[in-house]
């Protein structure tokens, strides 16, 4: 109950603050009308076919345009954000997320590009956890561990989508019902994720869920950001600030040791703005285990009205700020990208070509009694909010 109250409170505070925040951009950036003809006279939401799933289900691509001409595209499959075009410091709109041009790419092989991740974002040790003395067994789909909801997680299911408009901007309400024991998790779970493209150039994510049996839940969004625009180079020169004093150290298989470590004096200290590439190839054991950054930073108790993470890309001047009610943020520096994926516009995604800032609970929380609880009970409503806000400098 405590957890729900905390979420409700934080979400309320966050909402109030985000909508009152003054715009950092004085003038509306010019619209990239060549790439999006509708932007000249914005039709805030439009929809077009984006292919068919193997079971015959038709997938649509929704295009949302805010008042400044920022354009976001989303598909039913996985709730994937397939593109997000935001202006650079000269007002040039370009895509800042990785992904594929067509559905077939997403169906073939994707490291969760742009998708909603659940039921459990991140890893659960040995794919097992206990609730009220009963052991639940999940898929071991990552080096003997459970990762991102299993073989067919929320990133690979069909989400029904309703369009909506609010004073804040155009939005999409994505819904999915996960059956009792789907991927081994107990409880019929009803999930709703609302994506709002706000008129102050933020992507606001509101997650809610209810269950009819005690279960565990840790939803997140797996967009890979590359603020250079249309993928000009990797993310090593992006400058990151993370307002966190501690992170969650892991072992070889990226399962937490159970301790929390001070970032002070380590390459995990991003309390002052630091280029991602500055220390990434060092000999720190945690960096070696992660092949770079692939860790959860502790932000629990932080003020959700303040940016917990800020990314600045010097050449384009683009800035991304992250706000969240969640207690952790997984910063993944795209270490597993290896050039085998050719993404949108024929761009080859080499190592560290994108970065993820997955707001969530700590990995393996169902097995770590000292971590904040991820248990959801019948009668409770899971409620979290994350905001990715774009500006320029």
Adjacency order of strands within the sheet including 71-75: 45-52, 58-65, 71-75, 81-87, 93-95
Residue in 221, 232, 248, 236 with CA at minimum distance from that of residue 327 = 248
CB of 5 to ligand GLA, least distance (A): 29
Q: With respect to ligand GLA, which residue has the nearer C-beta, 44 or 258?
A: 258
- End-to-end CA, the chain: 42
Pick one of 294, 313, 321, 364: the residue that binds ligand GLA (CB under 6 A): 294
Other CB atoms within 10 Å distance of the CB of residue 133: 5
Q: From the centroid of its chain, how far is CA 48? A: 24
Q: With respect to ligand GLA, which residue has the nearer C-beta, 339 or 378?
A: 339
Residue 358 designated active-site: yes
Number of residues lying near ligand GLA (CB under 6 A): 10
Contacts with ligand GLA in 329-358 (CB under 6 A)?
330, 332, 336, 356, 358
Contacts with ligand GLA in 242-281 (CB under 6 A)?
254
Max Cα-Cα span within the chain? 59
Burial state string for 65-93 with b = 16 or more CB within 10 A and e = fewer than 16: bbebbbbbbbbbbbbbbbbbbbbbbebeb
Query: Which listed range, 45-53, 87-95, 265-273, 328-336, lies at the site for ligand GLA (CB under 6 A)?
Result: 328-336
Q: C-alpha dihedral over 26, 387, 16, 20, to 10 degrees? A: 0
Minimal CB distance to ligand GLA: which residue?
Answer: 111
Residue 148 designated active-site: no
Contacts with ligand GLA in 92-131 (CB under 6 A)?
111-112
Q: Which of 36, 148, 222, 238 is catalytic?
A: 222
Mask for 166-205, x = binds ligand GLA (CB under 6 A): ----------------------------------------
> Which residues have a catalytic role annotated?
222, 358
Give the footprint of ligand GLA on this chain (CB under 6 A): 111-112, 147, 254, 294, 330, 332, 336, 356, 358
């Amino acid at each position: 109950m405590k957890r729900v109250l905390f979420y409700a409170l934080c979400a309320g505070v966050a909402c109030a603050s985000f909508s009152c925040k003054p715009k950092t951009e004085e003038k509306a950036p010019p619209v990239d009308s060549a790439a999006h003809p509708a932007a000249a006279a914005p039709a805030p939401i439009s929809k077009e076919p984006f292919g068919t799933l193997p079971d015959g289900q038709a997938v649509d691509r929704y295009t949302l345009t805010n008042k400044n001409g920022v354009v976001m595209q989303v598909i039913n499959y996985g709730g994937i954000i397939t593109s997000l075009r935001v202006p650079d410091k000269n007002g040039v709109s370009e895509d800042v997320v990785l992904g594929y041009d067509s559905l077939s790419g997403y169906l073939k092989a994707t490291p969760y590009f742009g998708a909603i991740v659940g039921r459990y974002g991140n890893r659960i040790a040995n794919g097992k956890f206990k609730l009220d003395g009963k052991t639940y067994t999940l898929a071991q789909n990552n080096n003997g561990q459970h990762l991102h909801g299993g073989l067919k997680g929320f990133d690979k299911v069909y989400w029904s989508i309703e369009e909506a408009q609010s004073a804040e901007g155009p939005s999409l309400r994505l819904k999915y019902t996960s059956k009792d024991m789907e991927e081994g998790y107990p409880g019929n779970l009803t999930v709703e994720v609302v994506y709002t493209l706000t008129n102050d150039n933020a992507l606001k994510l509101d997650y809610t869920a209810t269950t009819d049996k005690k279960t565990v839940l840790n939803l997140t969004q797996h967009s890979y950001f590359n603020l250079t625009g249309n993928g000009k180079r990797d993310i090593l020169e992006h400058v990151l600030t993370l307002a966190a004093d501690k992170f969650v150290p892991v072992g070889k298989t990226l399962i937490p040791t159970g301790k929390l470590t001070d970032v002070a004096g380590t390459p995990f200290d991003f309390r002052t703005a630091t280029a991602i590439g500055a220390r990434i190839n060092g000999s720190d054991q945690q960096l070696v285990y992660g092949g770079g950054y692939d860790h959860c930073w502790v932000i629990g108790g932080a003020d959700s009205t303040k940016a917990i993470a800020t990314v600045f890309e010097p050449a384009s001047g683009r800035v991304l700020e992250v706000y969240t009610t969640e207690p952790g943020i997984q910063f993944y520096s795209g270490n597993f990208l290896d050039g085998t994926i050719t993404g949108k516009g024929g761009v080859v995604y080499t190592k560290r070509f994108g970065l993820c800032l997955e707001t969530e609970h700590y990995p393996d929380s169902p097995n770590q009694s000292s971590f904040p609880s991820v248990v959801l009970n019948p009668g409770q409503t899971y409620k979290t909010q994350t905001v990715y806000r774009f500006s320029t400098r």
